[in-house]
A and B are shown apart, each in its own frame.
Chain A
Amino acid sequence: MDLELEPTLESIIQQSSLKWIFVGGKGGVGKTTTSSSIAVQLALNHPNDQFLLISTDPAHNLSDAFCQKFGKDARKVEGLENLSCMEIDPDAAMNDLQQQAQQYNNDPNDPLKSMMQDFTGAIPGIDEALSFMEVLKHIKNQKVADGTDSTESDKISYKTIIFDTAPTGHTLRFLQLPSTLQKLLSKFQSLSGKLGPMMNMLGGAGGQNPQEMFSKLNELEKQVAEVNEQFTNPDLTTFVCVCISEFLSLYETERMIQELMSYNMDVNSIVVNQLLFAEDEVKPCSRCVSRWKMQKKYLDQMSELYEDYHLVKMPLLGTEIRGINNLKRFSKFLLKPYDPKVDSSIITDLEEK
């Protein structure tokens, strides 16, 4: 089969059913730039819909990318009316939750307290799930606030939500949670049936009893299963991998793609950033030329490996891509492949911020 897919993100930008777009990759490969570009292009191409760009990275850089301060609540981007941004620290949400639990049960000698913490800590993916649920709750709250604020007609305010995921850890590890949790819960339940009276006796004075905790876990499992269903539906959710044309980055990308596929997530686009396109320059610098040769080597390997993916090639520019105007110019190349002969002016032409 020799069906080349076009090297653009057009399918994502034009597709109208997508609700969630995740942008992921290791640190320093241009995730934030790419996610901002995707968001900008979406907003430009669907001027009648609202879009939300969320960064869950503790080191927030959406503010820097748009040269505008963003916070915990969604705020509209100046110069692009239908795009909002939001920066959330998922760990903070998690910490809140723990503090809440401590408030209920502040007996330092209660043996159950640490036991419960150990229980919840030992389930793989649970902290990711909790923090993600927290993020989702936050988004939902935003919607409600918007709905009461303006007329009732725009209840679903965001057509698509773009996630700029954190580079560390397995952001989407919680997708494996439902099966794990189900197994654990059934075990816990049989255990609590046997040990229930004893646990109640031990924990009765403390306040938070195990039954309550199980029901909480049950609820979480249901939520995660719901989210999972949405995320594994390729019509609703897609994942865009970002990498640069270097060995380690490709290696990590490959691993990420395999992992995502094991969660049944839809991955069909890879953005390769920071390419030099050195050969057509008027005055080629020797370092650029040799580095471009190396990048091309990996690009060839990639096109062999990922023949059924959209491989988007983005150029390395002379400066950081900041500000809405620069993003608009840069993001054009997500739809129309960068041609070094025609478009090379952009490399040095960006507005300084």
Chain B
Amino acid sequence: MKEAENNPIVSLIASIVSPFIMLFGLYVIFHGHYSPGGGFQGGTLMAASIILIRLAHSGQTGQLQFPATLNTPLGSLGVLIYYGTGLAALWWGGQFLNYAYLPLAQAISWRRSWGILMVEIGVGLAVMAILVSIFDDLLEDNSYD
């Protein structure tokens, strides 16, 4: 890929808009119980905000916000949060992924609510990191010809 010079207008607008998209993605994840939303949608929005910065700033500048070396560890961490929630329920005496056994609250329905929130955080993290990872890999080294 040719090293295009940065357009100042595009990079400024991307820098202004990107944090708000990230914030909206976090809102969609954490408000997923009460409004349409959840881990998949919020993770996609956060990935969109990071990819916007990558598109506007070419080269190493785009990596400053979210370096490419973080992609695979964060994705694996998200999947591990999901598995860990299931295994924690197993540890405290229930079945795998049965949130009613997590010692987070008194009432069983609130325990399941907190379990859903933990799982959604894991899903959002994994989806965000892996979509950015696929984007980085596809643009990795197109300097043939």
**A and B part of one assembly:** no
